[in-house]
Amino acid sequence: MTLPHGTDRLESERLVLRRIAPDDLPFFTRIHALPDVARHLYPGGRPRSPEETAAWLQATLAGYAQLSLGYLAVLRKRDGALIGRCGLMELVVESEEPEHGIRRGWFRLTGVPADVELTFECELGYTFDPAVWGQGFATEAARCVRDYARDVLRLPYAISAILPQNARSRRVAERLGARAVGQMDVVGLTWDRYQWPLERT
């Protein structure tokens, strides 16, 4: 799906969001290796290796053909600096809450059991360079993506998967109207599910 108005990007007052490109690899390799970033994203808080980030970037590029949006690179308008990513990714969860434990989920269809009734959702995610934390960029980018999901894709809702200790991400979601709706187990981690209401009233 193309982005609004036949363009290849989204814009806000201070930001440009465009598709991730191969030349973005050094930036993502650097931030994926930062402990302050990794502890909110990956099992054990383990930083990603350069090879793992290269594989992630290739999967991101390949996913644009199937996803309604995918992750977008976030650039600061005033100097063109790449400062993070924000977008919509596929999320698959068990349709029914289990009797014991919490609902399982998967960020991609790989590894999903064949015998489980599933609900397909979109996950609104955002990750930024710690050098720009606290400046409102995550909120601004997430608002831009939320509005796209509501006004262009016309989704009824989106989900953000946020680790319980990630207070910054939680504040971004809550500031924009998302609310906690339980938890789920994805990649061996327990995530809080934040639901973004998108239906127009």
Q: Say whether pLDDT at 185 is over 50.
A: yes
User: What is the reported pLDDT for 6?
Assistant: 42
pLDDT digits (tens, 9 = 90+) for 59-89: 999 888 887 789 999 999 999 999 999 999 9
pLDDT digits (tens, 9 = 90+) for 162-179: 999 999 999 999 999 999
Q: b or e along 163-180 (b: 16 or more beta carbons within 10 Å of the residue's beta carbon)? A: beebeebbebbeebebee
Number of domains in the chain: 1
Region 185-200: mean pLDDT is 89
User: What is the reported pLDDT for 63?
Assistant: 87
Which domain does 119 fall in, by range? Answer: 4-197
Could you tell me the CATH number of the domain that includes residue 166? 3.40.630.30
Q: Say whether pLDDT at 144 is over 90.
A: yes
The whole-angstrom separation of Cα 4 and Cα 132 is 27
41 or 176, which is more confident?
176
pTM for the whole thing?
Answer: 0.91
Region 83-106: mean pLDDT is 89
Q: At what angle do helices 25-32 and 50-63 cross, to 10 degrees?
A: 130
